[in-house]
Structure 1
Amino acid sequence: MCGIAGVWRKRDPIGIADLSDIARMMQALAHRGPDDHDSWSSGRLALGHRRLAIIDPSPAAREPMLTACGQGVLVYNGEVYNYRTLRQVLEAEGRVFRSVSDAEVVLQALHHWGPEKAVPLFDGMFSFAYFDVRSSALWLARDRLGIKPMSVAETGGRILFASEDKAILACEGFPCRVDAREITLRLAWQSRDSSYSLFEGIERLPPAGLWKITDGGIEKRRFWHVLDVLETARITGDTASDAVQMATLQTLLEDSVELHCIADTSIAAACSGGVDSGLITALAKRFRPEIHGYVVDPLLGHSEAANAERTGRHVGVSLRRVPVDRNRFFELWPKVIWHLESDGWHASHVGLMAMAEQCRADGVKVLLTGEGADELFGGYAWQASSMRAWRAWSWPARLFRSKRWLDRKFQRLRQAPFSRSIGHGGGWSHNAVLRALSPDLNFLQPEIFDRLQPVTPLTDRAFLGSCFFDMYSHLQDLLHRHDRLSMAASVELRVPFLENRLIDYAIHLPRRHKYRDKTGKWLLKKVAEKHIPRENIHAPKVGFEISPHFTAGIHGLLRGGFLRDAMKWPAASIDDFVGLARRDVASRLRLVGMELFLRLHAGGETTEKLTETLHAAARNDQT
């Protein structure tokens, strides 16, 4: 896991100013790779790399890495877990290796097979820049679900790219301008963080992005999308018994966890009281007997620590509590926003950063988590609620409606088919306006629904479609959070549920294996019953919650702040927004979080100063 940076000159050769920018970019990414760093330049390209050494920590795995012939160059961030298998194939085809790293396998595969053939073979999380001297082509890529990030900015004479926006902002002369439209979209609760920047002039590779940069410009393509790989016949034709599906899922999970335990360093598990992380912790114990776990323990609010420790005792893994009180929350929240490059609106953001910092203090470089299971296996309540609107076509309800009525309702619902769709249940004009806010994401909803046309009944189609849509909406924000906040503490966070074969298996499961008897993640929970306490498996799903008292009083920051000016709030409305933030915790975190973001980037304040500001606001509200 690392940080990467690069400058591509469109015409002129790389100069001293470009090399200075690479140095600035690498400094801005120092937290992503404190173990080593290096740079390389030739012709019109300069590359920089910050290394977090996890697989093959020897100097032989240093990057930027060149092929023996010098015709291929790589900077790479992430892990390709099937690198040993790929290496065997490459060696059989005559390739010779100088290290035992996965980075060299990635480089050799790209150079020998070409990116278009090699990248779909990579099973893991990654972003990279690969330069093929033979064709003078620079390739930028990101893994299929966007676990690892890549930001890009095109200026008049250069293309800049890096693991985080802040590295591009560090380049001499690059303007730090916040995009008011992006602020609006986030305040409208759009899922934006993974694929869109809040800064003008910076874009991010989408999940499965594979961009080719040549003298002709940037050719943007993707190598994977659920709409491209979905085989509805596998869903409709599934006749496997529950026992067969359980055995299949068990094997796939074991194989994935074993791959994710590959590391030449210590590994721990993020173990909440729920099913997903508990199951990953239990399976990881088989491959890493020494593994221990962490659980965040908010000292105000709901704590999962007791449930997590129940799982720990059951599977023989010791758990370390990470306490978070109000002082710790105020200390970390501005840092969270700095590293997220967004508003840090959810309380769990602070919890994750606290956990990552504790890992690093304990000498742990790799943390396993259960993220992705809810999207793939149907664990969210809103996925199940997506079925409700489509019950009019079920027997016997459809007998009480005319065909004309059903047809009209179908066309209306098809535009916003899932319960979390923008404009779900609203009128045509309402849907159109909301879709215009974020067309690429919101027009994906009917595309997914139409792609599932052979699936019946319509309730099943809506449920599965909701799961697929979450892969490109809700999951994207979670993955962005995981990368930025773990890497802020120089910790690699791995997500075993998002392994290639598991993804393929999950997207082709019928609804009955995901949601049955009013139970989400039905099949996954059946597998989990073999490994973790039933009491934890069947407990109500609880997110990371903190008491409203954690942030009470900070709504006052919205008076006279940067957000007011950016959004052009009328003076008469300020009291209304402050009142909303006082009453509603979610709105308070989102609005004040965006205010803190603007104070950092538009006002130039430090995270330490903002911590003091939060404390002062809370005290003033009590007087």
Structure 2
Amino acid sequence: MCGIAGVWRKRNPIGGGDLTDVGRMMQALAHRGPDDHASWNDSRLALGHRRLSIIDLSTQAREPMLTACGQGVLVYNGEVYNYRALRATLETEGRRFRTVSDAEVVLEALHHWGPDKAIPLFDGMFSLAYFDARATTLWLARDRLGIKPMSVAETPERILFASEDKAILACDDAARAIDAREITLRLAWQSRDSSSSLFEGIERLPPAGLWKITDAGIEKRCFWHVLDVLDAARIAGDTATDAEHMASLEALIEDSVGLHCVADTRLAAACSGGVDSGLVTTLAKRFRPELTAYVVDPRLGHSEAEDAERTARHAGVPLNRVAVDKDRFLELWPRTIWHLESDGWHASHACLLALAEQCRADGIKVLLTGEGADELFGGYDWQEASMRPWRPWSWPQRLFRSKARLARRFERQRHAPFRTSLAGDRGWDRNIVLRALSPELNFLQTKIFDRLEPVASLSDRAFLGCCLQDMYAHLQDLLNRHDRLSMAASVELRVPFLENRLIDFAIHLPRRHKYRHKQGKWLLKKVAEKHIPLQNVNARKNGFQVSNNFTTGTEGLLRAGLLRDVMKWPAASVEDLIGLARRDEPSRLRLVGMELFLRLHADGQTTGQLTEALRAAVRDAR
């Protein structure tokens, strides 16, 4: 787990300014890799690497890493968990290794097989830059669901790339211009953070992005997409019994957790009171007997600590409670936005940073979490709600409706098939909004729904399609949050549910194995019943709740702020927006969070100054 940076010269050789910029980028990414740093350059390319040492702690595993022949160079951020199996295959084909690191396996696979063959074989989370001197070609790649980040900026003379936007902004010729359209999209609740930057001129590799850079320019493509791998006939033809699927799922999860426990450093689990992290914690104990667990314990409102304690006792894992009160929250909030490079739309963001900082203070470098299970196995209420509009087509309701009317309604509804669709019912105005906001994401829902045509039940198609859509929407926000805030504290966060075989298994499960008897994640919960307390398995899903009181009063920051100028709000409307933020916590988090972002990145204020401004706003509101 690391931070990577690079400069590619389109024409002229690498010069002193380029090397200085790589140094600046590495300094901006110091939090991602405090253990070591190094750089490398040739006539056209300069690379930098900040290292968080987790697998093979020796200096031999330092990056940038070169092949023995010197013709292949790699900087790499992440973990490829099947590296041992890949290494064995490469050794049978004559490759020899100098380290026991996964980075060298990634490099040798890329150099020996080529990126087109090697990268789809990688099972894990990664963003990487690989230079093949034999063809004078630079490759940039990101894992299939975008767990690890990669930002890119192109200028007339150079291509800059790094793990975070702030590294590119540290370069001498980088403009720190804010994209007002992106602000609008986020305020409109679009899922953008993982794949789009708030800074003009900075682009992010999409999930599964595979970019080839040569003298001819950038060739952009993806090596994996759910539309390309989804076999709807496999879902429709599924005849496996509950017991067979339970056995398969349990084996897959156990194997994935075992792979995710490989580390030459201390490892812990983020254990909430829920099913997903509880199951990961319990299974990880088998592979790492010394395992400890952490849970955030807010001093206001609902806390998951008691439920987490129940799971931890059951698993025999000591649990550390990380306390967060309002004063600590206001200290952390601006820092979360600095690292997220966005507005920080959920109050739990600050709590995740508090948890990661406590882990690091305790000497923990790796943290396991249960993220991804809700998207893959159907754990959200909006996925279940997506079935309801399709009930008129179910038996026997369709007997009482005109076939022609149902056909007309179907054609309208398939363009907004899910509960999360913007263009609901037949509102023409909403269709206009849909097209204007984020078409690359919003039109994906219809493509997914149509691809599921072999699934006879329209409500089943809607449920399954909503789960798949969430992989590119809601999950992207969560993965972006987890990477940025864990790495802010130099902690690697791993997500065992997002392993290649588990992804394939989950996207091909019929609805009856995801939602049954009014219960989401039905199959996963059946597996969990064997490992964690039934009280936790059967508890109502709450998500991570943080009291509204943590942010009450901060809305005063919008008065005489920067956001009103960027959005060109009339002065008379600002008080109305402050009133909205006062009444509605989600709006308060979005609006105040974006104000904090602008003050950090457009006005140059420090996180400490913003914490004091937040505290002052709270005092004034009393």
TM-score normalised over the length of structure 1: 0.99
1:215-226 matches, within 5 Å, as 215-226=215-226
Residue 33 of structure 1 corresponds to 33
Residue 405 of structure 2 corresponds to 405
Question: What SS class does the counterpart of residue 41 from structure 2 fall into?
Answer: strand
Residue 282 of structure 2 corresponds to 282
State the alpha-carbon separation in 1 of the partners of residues 428 and 397 from structure 2.
25
State the alpha-carbon separation in 2 of the partners of residues 360 and 422 from structure 1.
41
Alignment of 1:242 with 2:255, yes or no, is no
Deviations 1:267-315 (A, max 9, x none): 0000000000000000000000110100001100110000000000111
Question: What SS class does the counterpart of residue 489 from structure 2 fall into?
Answer: coil
Residue 384 of structure 1 corresponds to 384
1:426 CA displacement? 4.6
State the alpha-carbon separation in 1 of the partners of residues 358 and 558 from structure 2.
32
State the alpha-carbon separation in 2 of the partners of residues 249 and 383 from structure 1.
21
Equivalent residues, number: 622
Residue 155 of structure 2 corresponds to 155
Residue 169 of structure 1 corresponds to 169
1:430 CA displacement? 1.5
Paired residues of 1:486 and 1:493 also in contact (CA < 8 A):
yes
State the alpha-carbon separation in 2 of the partners of residues 545 and 251 from structure 1.
32
Alignment of 1:605 with 2:605, yes or no, is yes
Paired residues of 1:353 and 1:486 also in contact (CA < 8 A):
yes
1:428 CA displacement? 3.1
State the alpha-carbon separation in 1 of the partners of residues 426 and 568 from structure 2.
27
State the alpha-carbon separation in 1 of the partners of residues 471 and 384 from structure 2.
16
1:94 CA displacement? 0.3
Residue 511 of structure 1 corresponds to 511
Question: What SS class does the counterpart of residue 552 from structure 2 fall into?
Answer: coil
Deviations 1:387-424 (A, max 9, x none): 00000100111112111210111011111100001222
Residue 92 of structure 1 corresponds to 92
Paired residues of 1:276 and 1:370 also in contact (CA < 8 A):
yes
State the alpha-carbon separation in 1 of the partners of residues 585 and 229 from structure 2.
40
Residue 120 of structure 2 corresponds to 120
Residue 313 of structure 1 corresponds to 313
Question: What SS class does the counterpart of residue 506 from structure 2 fall into?
Answer: helix
Paired residues of 1:422 and 1:435 also in contact (CA < 8 A):
no
Residue 494 of structure 1 corresponds to 494
Residue 143 of structure 1 corresponds to 143
Question: What SS class does the counterpart of residue 294 from structure 1 fall into?
Answer: strand
Deviations 1:303-351 (A, max 9, x none): 0000000000111111000000001100000000000000012011011
State the alpha-carbon separation in 2 of the partners of residues 224 and 606 from structure 1.
40
The residue type equivalent to 1:405 in the other structure is R
State the alpha-carbon separation in 2 of the partners of residues 241 and 142 from structure 1.
36
1:211-360 matches, within 5 Å, as 211-360=211-360
1:456-605 matches, within 5 Å, as 456-605=456-605
1:435 CA displacement? 2.6
The residue type equivalent to 2:332 in the other structure is L
Paired residues of 1:246 and 1:526 also in contact (CA < 8 A):
yes
Deviation >3 Å, runs of 4+:
none
Aligned residues with identical type, % of pairs: 76
Question: What SS class does the counterpart of residue 603 from structure 1 fall into?
Answer: coil
Alignment of 1:210 with 2:185, yes or no, is no
Deviations 1:14-59 (A, max 9, x none): 0000000000000000000000000000011000000000000101
State the alpha-carbon separation in 1 of the partners of residues 199 and 255 from structure 2.
40
Q: Can you give the 5+ residue segments of structure 2 that lack an aligned partner in the other structure?
A: none
Question: What SS class does the counterpart of residue 545 from structure 1 fall into?
Answer: coil
State the alpha-carbon separation in 1 of the partners of residues 65 and 314 from structure 2.
44
TM-score normalised over the length of structure 2: 1.00
The residue type equivalent to 1:494 in the other structure is R
Question: What SS class does the counterpart of residue 322 from structure 2 fall into?
Answer: strand
Residue 78 of structure 2 corresponds to 78
Paired residues of 1:87 and 1:105 also in contact (CA < 8 A):
yes
Question: What SS class does the counterpart of residue 47 from structure 2 fall into?
Answer: strand
The residue type equivalent to 1:573 in the other structure is S
State the alpha-carbon separation in 2 of the partners of residues 65 and 437 from structure 1.
42
Residue 619 of structure 1 corresponds to 619
- After superposition, the CA RMSD in angstroms is 0.6
1:546 CA displacement? 1.9
1:173 CA displacement? 2.1
Residue 133 of structure 1 corresponds to 133
Paired residues of 1:412 and 1:428 also in contact (CA < 8 A):
no
The residue type equivalent to 1:483 in the other structure is D
State the alpha-carbon separation in 1 of the partners of residues 589 and 343 from structure 2.
8
Residue 431 of structure 1 corresponds to 431
Residue 181 of structure 1 corresponds to 181
Paired residues of 1:383 and 1:419 also in contact (CA < 8 A):
yes
